[in-house]
Amino acid sequence: MNTIDRRHFLRLALATGGALGLGTLAAPARADTSGYRALVAVFLYGGNDSFNMVVPRSAAEYAVYAAARQNLAIPQSGLLPISPLTPDGATYGLHPSMGGLQQLFGTGRAAIVANTGPLVEPATKAQVLARSVALPPQLFSHNDQQDQWHTLKGRQVLVTGWAGRVADLLEADLSTQQLPMNLSIAGTVPFQAAAQAEPYVIGDQGVVGYAALDASVFNGPLRRRAFESLLAARQPTIYGRAVKSVHQRALTYADRASTALAAAPALTTSFPDTPLGRQLAMVAKIVSVRGTLAMRRQIFLVGIGGFDTHDVQNTAQPGLLGGVSASLGAFDAAMTELGVGSQVTAFTMSDFGRTLTSNGDGTDHGWAGHQLVVGGAVQGSDIYGTMPRLEIDGPDDVGGGRIVPTIAVQQYAATLLRWFGLDETQIDAAVPGLGAFAARDLGFMA
């Protein structure tokens, strides 16, 4: 095995877990990376109570919902009606604060992926209660379930995220890009961790650089030259070379991003002045300079907290869900303004859903929940998957008002990655455990 083959082997092994005996190696890349496409992951940290985000409106189903939710039930008259293209015998509405999402859903630019959550294999209530099916560990723990969404690891030991594995698989095809494929405006998280490819972190106001080296700071240019001289010096240890490489890469990316963003076109679309609004505005700005940076594929991460609504849920939830709705609406409008409305897809993730039961002032950690997908390539105006029966001790409640998922996170991710351009072999490498589920494509992407 020559040097190039060995490097290729190790990269694919690490990207898929094969080096640890946790997966099979991927075949050489055959991805379609023509044109421009971007995924924007919107993580709702804390566990979004999506059973108050999408609510049954029809009389019988609403009565079951209201009995389960008690003082947390949204008044039936306040729900914003939606009309899914594939009816299931019930009618549905959105939380009263989500007018922007209602409009996106109605115009076919948003879809709902129902009852989704971490799974190792398909599971029913009876199987869960009988302990006859493998389940992800620590199901109701914030950190563990965020990690499940970020990595899709199931019961494996993985140190890479699914966006990171995609970056590893596509790195050779995207070698002319001036920035890494993975960009985070929400800090460093496992979602974009890779075996080889490096993610790039940027702030919602722009590049987070070396302040003391900035040209606008007294003696900044002098410090910059001195620092570059230090980096140019020979480093005798592997640790010194690693530190040198990190700083050189950071300086290069900061210069490229700063120069490109300084020439970004002004958008007429107005974003909410909120943490999520500002993060998505920065994503839009980076998308606007994709040509300058020779970008063809990008995966962005943005995120906001506050969704751990054990307390004051009735007070907090309108602002939380309203903020998501307004920010996603503004982002979709900005993508349309930039002419890439069908080339950029935003999608939500969250630790878990929440319990149907009220704890008196809020809800506790649950399991399955609903997710949103927004963009011009989305087969919108529909609900994908099976809506659960929101009944305490009902057919979908595995105990304590926790609903068992009928769609796995792996299926959700695979559907997005197929649209992104990966072939089936690459999808299997990026999404470990997908083979346990019959449906590899949920159908919500064109």
Determine the pLDDT at residue 20.
35
Q: Chunked in runs of 10, what are the mean pLDDT values of the chain (446 residues)?
A: 34 38 44 95 98 98 98 98 96 98 98 98 98 97 97 96 98 96 96 95 88 75 74 80 76 90 97 98 98 98 98 97 98 98 98 97 98 98 98 97 98 98 98 97 97
Determine the pLDDT at residue 250.
79
370 three-class SS? strand
Q: What tens digit of pLDDT does each residue of 324-376 get?
A: 999 999 999 999 999 999 999 999 999 999 999 999 999 999 999 999 999 99
Would you state the torsion angle of the CA atoms of residues 352, 358, 359, 361, taken in this order, to the nearest 10 degrees?
100
Determine the pLDDT at residue 257.
94
Contacts of 352 (CB under 8 A, 6+ apart): 47, 117, 118, 139, 140, 145, 365, 366, 367, 368, 369
HSE-up (13 A, CA, CB side) for residue 240: 8
Delineate the domains of the chain, giving CATH numbers in brackets: 34-209+273-436 (3.40.720)
Q: How far, rounded to the nearest angstrom, does the alpha carbon of residue 292 sit from its chain's CA centroid?
A: 25
HSE-up (13 A, CA, CB side) for residue 370: 25
Instruction: Name the pTM for this structure.
Output: 0.91
For the chain, the straight-line distance linking the first and the last C-alpha, in angstroms and rounded, comes to 41
The Cβ of residue 256 has, within 10 Å, a number of other Cβ atoms equal to 17
Determine the pLDDT at residue 215.
76
Determine the pLDDT at residue 17.
40
Structure token digits, residue 155: 């019961």
Q: How far, rounded to the nearest angstrom, does the alpha carbon of residue 415 sit from its chain's CA centroid?
A: 13
- Contact between residue 116 and residue 409 where contact means Cβ atoms under 8 Å apart: yes
User: Positive or negative CA dihedral for 347, 353, 356, 360?
Assistant: negative
* Separation of alpha carbons 228 and 100, rounded Å: 48
Determine the pLDDT at residue 323.
98
